[in-house]
Chain A
Amino acid sequence: MRIFLIDTQIIKKALIKSNSPRSAVETHAAEFKATPHNYFMKGKGIEMNTPDYRTYKDVKINPDLSGAMTDLRAVTGNTMDLNIMFVKVSGVDCAVATIEAMTSTSAMSELIFRPLMNLELHKKSNAEGVFSFLTEESLLAAERKTVFTYGDVIQYLFSGFAVIFVESLSKAVVYSIQGYDKRSVSTPESEQTIKAAQDSFTETIRTNLSLIRRRMKTPSLRFEMMQIGKRSSTDVCMMYMCDRASSETVDALRKQLSKIKLDTVLTTGYIEPFIDESFGSSVFSQMSYSERPDMICTRLNQGRICILVDGTPFCIICPALFAENFQTMDDYCEKPYYVTFMRWLKYIAFFLAVAFPGLYVALANFHPEVFTLKLLLNLAVSEEATPYPLTAEVFMLMVLFEIMKEAGLRLPKSVGSAVSIVGGLIIGDAAVKSGLISAPLLIVVGITATSSFVIPSLNQQTTILRLVYILVGGCSGLYGIAVCTLLLIANINAMDDFAISYTAPVTPFFPKGITDVISRKSFKSYERTESTMKEYREKRGEKS
């Protein structure tokens, strides 16, 4: 390991010369800025190694306070948002480092500065005494840690902590007094419910953790925080219930997360390919997302492992099951018979969203004998007037629908609704009247589009599969659709990350869980039998 030595004498002389510690530090920082990695002290002929942004991580804190501050400025490149304040605490030189707008100024003045300024240590008024007061004899903030390296200092500093350095000590103490601006907890946008809770995750991981913890007051709920991203050092929290989740799955996931070597982790999507084994080979994903704390609590109770990433208001659930895409939190607020009906409605909607236009094309082109005579005649009359082949017509219309959907999604809400009116009503009506498309086709596309909104979590898959089915159905009729469906079923069945089959509890068949797929169990039966991931693994003959 490379050891960096700083000539503290040189810095001290510079301090005496300028009569101002701040300006000396700034002078050094300016010099460092000119030759950041390895610079020479002017006129001294001594080579001086100062930690820089590439080599600071394991370097121990300089016991000389001014030297430490020089190092800190050198490492951060004298960044403008770094604030360093020198104070005397009970006669001992100290420095408080913070990052602008990351800390709460009121908390800092009330919780840090006021107690420190009033501190008078009579018996042992030295550096160790002050440090002992900071770390052992006071409670200045909710979270406090002692750090020894610049790596830790930078990590905490940029997370909004205040770092207090004490003269002649090669360690510092960090206090949690974060006060950066954050979005408050609001209603969920993508998973709206009627009767269930109306709060959702925000971009702040600590807030999100509190939303979960306050719902699950059990000590078996574990949060494991880790930093991922070589440059971003993003806080990533793995959550699980130690008595529900499989310990092998937890270990495997922890290992996979620790192997991620990305520079930055800015959303949950960055880490998904690293933990989803079938990410590149499967149409569907065995990781699902939720922005609802209540949904996460349900999944945790079933033995899933959930991952929160700082800066993202969505939580990853792994492993996820296919059938769960058709379940919402409202299901647990309604009568079981109604929920059962709704669930089957969603299955039908999924089928329509994926296969309806493809089937229409296949049947109309190659198997018209399936239609009843009246329907067949109606279709034939409508299609006869249109200029393009049916397959091209349906494909173009579906692509147009996707364009309008995308436009409506990215634009502001007020303009988005205008797009749907112009696109859906005006263009659609005009296209039928001008004879470009047939009216039955517009009905097919309308039904498909509406059905696709029923299961938003499968939006990506339904969009692509729908187009594939149109092409396959248009080229080879029901033969192509059947082959395509079989390959899709095989593809879904092949997904078994963490020894849990994506299609469970249907295949492999798990009687205890199947009732929640074809209907909704009553809470009395949940009381008796809540199926967990552990049981699915055991069903497969895997250890838990």
Chain B
Amino acid sequence: MKKLTSLQLCMLLICGRAFTLMTFLPAGSDNSLIYMIGTVVSTLIQAAIVIPIIIFQQKFQNENPCTLALSRSKPLGIFVTLLYMLYFALVIFYVIGTFTYFMDYYFSDYIPRIMIVISSAAAAVYVGKMNTGVIGKTGAVVFALFLFFTATLVISSLENFSTVNFHLADNDVSGGIWQAAKGELSRNADLIFLVFLLPDLKGKVGKSSAVFLAVRFALVEIIMGFVTIILGDYTMYSKLPFFSLAAYSKTSIIERYDAAIMSVWVMLAIIKLGMYVHCTARCVKYTLPKLSFVTSAIIASAVPAAASLFYLIPHKWETIAYSSVSSIPLIILAAVVPLLMILFMRGRKNEKA
């Protein structure tokens, strides 16, 4: 049964993006205005990536690349499924590690890293074992909380606004824009859900994509804009600009907002992890159908979490956290694989004919 509405899918994607937005801002450029312009370019590239997904849905209706490949040829299906599974597992590894690293580094030196990994992985299993509709609904609530806290943060920082902080003073503006566009694109790994969750989607993927791209663009631009207006050039030097802003803003009731923002950030992380655990567990189920979904979810969460501990415990995560992430796997799995299937596989209607 289809469970996920277009809006819920959109909420899930935005939750994923909001988590990345709050976590770390790989500069590419040290000028935030250039980063904001780069976001425009990145949005156009993402719109291009979405086109094959829209055609894929039109042609193959309720299939995703894994189910489609499995229905045509088992070896091909398993190969495609493994590709997606590997990608999802890598994202879980990266998210859980980065989340634990920043959590430990900035907020909770009172909780051991291993406890953060175990608790977040366990929470991700609980969320991931549910159907996409439930995760979508939970994502919508968390996104509402995110908006509420962000609005509170912005309102409480209004007195520090300065438009002088916007400038284009940079040695290589065009190069900076391109670097920012690439960096911004690599931070949208969740685009993969658009193609993978097609069998669950009630509506048209085009609608979800359009809403997501518009909201994501607005969100990034507005938040980056506010952070820049308040923090200026410090935005791009700060590892967590959003939290820096939260620590900076105050009201007569609350001295600092970073603890409150951290709560929302944790929720966003669990939602994102839960969604990836769900998708990985599905891939495990596609390849090993006899396994129960809960067992698949446990495997999907435990393996990347355990792997991340090898870097987290000896304090080697910095090398991963601050390194740039390539967008090529995303482009291959979200656009190239569906495109190849559109070109070389016939739709169900044509098959019957």
- Residue numbers of A with Cβ under 8 A of B are 363, 366-367, 369-373, 376, 476-483, 485-487, 489-490, 493-494, 501, 503, 506-509, 541
Contact (A370, B256) CB under 8 Å given A490-B127, A490-B135, A508-B5: yes
Residues of chain B from 3 to 25 with CB closer than 8 A to chain A in the complex: 5, 7-8
Q: In this complex, what residue of B is CB-closest to A369? A: B256
Contact residues on B (Cβ < 8 Å of other chain), bracket: 35 or more
Residues of chain B from 138 to 165 with CB closer than 8 A to chain A in the complex: 138, 140-142
- Closest Cβ of chain A to B12, distance in Å, is 12
- Closest Cβ of chain B to A284, distance in Å, is 14
* A509 x B140 contact (CB < 8 A): yes
B299 within 8 A of A: no
Complexed CA–CA distance, A487 and B140 (Å): 14
| Chain B residues whose C-beta falls within 8 Å of the C-beta of A477 in the assembled complex | 108, 110-111
* B134 x A478 contact (CB < 8 A): no
Complexed CA–CA distance, A369 and B256 (Å): 6
- Closest Cβ of chain B to A365, distance in Å, is 8
Residues of chain B from 70 to 110 with CB closer than 8 A to chain A in the complex: 103, 107-108, 110
Which one, B40-48, B259-267, B327-335, is touching chain A? B259-267
* A489 x B108 contact (CB < 8 A): no
* B119 x A483 contact (CB < 8 A): yes
* B263 x A493 contact (CB < 8 A): no
B343 within 8 A of A: no
* B262 x A507 contact (CB < 8 A): no
List, sorted by A's number, 18 A–B pairs whose CB atoms are closer than 8 Å. Answer: A363-B259, A369-B259, A370-B259, A372-B254, A376-B255, A477-B108, A478-B263, A478-B266, A479-B108, A482-B262, A482-B263, A483-B119, A485-B267, A486-B142, A486-B267, A487-B126, A490-B134, A493-B134
- Closest Cβ of chain B to A195, distance in Å, is 34
- Residue numbers of B with Cβ under 8 A of A are 2, 5, 7-8, 103, 107-108, 110-111, 115-116, 119-120, 123, 126-127, 130, 134-135, 137-138, 140-142, 202, 252-256, 258-260, 262-264, 266-267, 270-271, 274
| Chain A residues whose C-beta falls within 8 Å of the C-beta of B130 in the assembled complex | 490, 493-494
* A370 x B254 contact (CB < 8 A): yes
- Closest Cβ of chain B to A266, distance in Å, is 35
* A483 x B270 contact (CB < 8 A): yes
Give the interface centre of A367, A480, A482 by most chain B CB atoms within 10 Å. Answer: A482
Q: In this complex, what residue of A is CB-closest to B264? A: A482
* B134 x A479 contact (CB < 8 A): no
* A487 x B127 contact (CB < 8 A): yes
- Closest Cβ of chain A to B255, distance in Å, is 5
Complexed CA–CA distance, A508 and B270 (Å): 20
Return the contact of B255 from the options A372, A481, A490, A501 (Cβ within 8 A). Answer: A372
* A507 x B140 contact (CB < 8 A): yes
* A370 x B111 contact (CB < 8 A): no
Complexed CA–CA distance, A369 and B137 (Å): 33
B interface, over-half SS = helix
Complexed CA–CA distance, A367 and B134 (Å): 31
* A487 x B108 contact (CB < 8 A): no
* B107 x A479 contact (CB < 8 A): yes
| Chain A residues whose C-beta falls within 8 Å of the C-beta of B116 in the assembled complex | 479
Return the contact of B126 from the options A376, A490, A503, A509 (Cβ within 8 A). Answer: A490
* B110 x A486 contact (CB < 8 A): no
Complexed CA–CA distance, A376 and B103 (Å): 24
| Chain B residues whose C-beta falls within 8 Å of the C-beta of A476 in the assembled complex | 108, 110-111, 115, 119
* A372 x B253 contact (CB < 8 A): yes
Q: In this complex, what residue of A is CB-closest to B2? A: A541
| Chain A residues whose C-beta falls within 8 Å of the C-beta of B259 in the assembled complex | 363, 367, 369-370, 478
* A483 x B123 contact (CB < 8 A): yes
Q: In this complex, what residue of A is CB-closest to B1? A: A541
Complexed CA–CA distance, A218 and B184 (Å): 62
- Closest Cβ of chain A to B298, distance in Å, is 16
- Closest Cβ of chain A to B5, distance in Å, is 6
* B138 x A369 contact (CB < 8 A): no
Give the interface centre of B2, B126, B141 by most chain A CB atoms within 10 Å. Answer: B141
Return the contact of A494 from the options B7, B134, B141 (Cβ within 8 A). Answer: B134
Q: In this complex, what residue of A is CB-closest to B130? A: A494
Complexed CA–CA distance, A482 and B120 (Å): 11
Q: In this complex, what residue of B is CB-closest to A376? A: B255
Q: In this complex, what residue of B is CB-closest to A501? A: B137
Complexed CA–CA distance, A486 and B122 (Å): 12
- Closest Cβ of chain A to B140, distance in Å, is 5
Q: In this complex, what residue of B is CB-closest to A483? A: B123
| Chain B residues whose C-beta falls within 8 Å of the C-beta of A508 in the assembled complex | 5, 8, 137
Contact (A493, B256) CB under 8 Å given A476-B111, A479-B262, A508-B8: no
| Chain A residues whose C-beta falls within 8 Å of the C-beta of B260 in the assembled complex | 370, 478
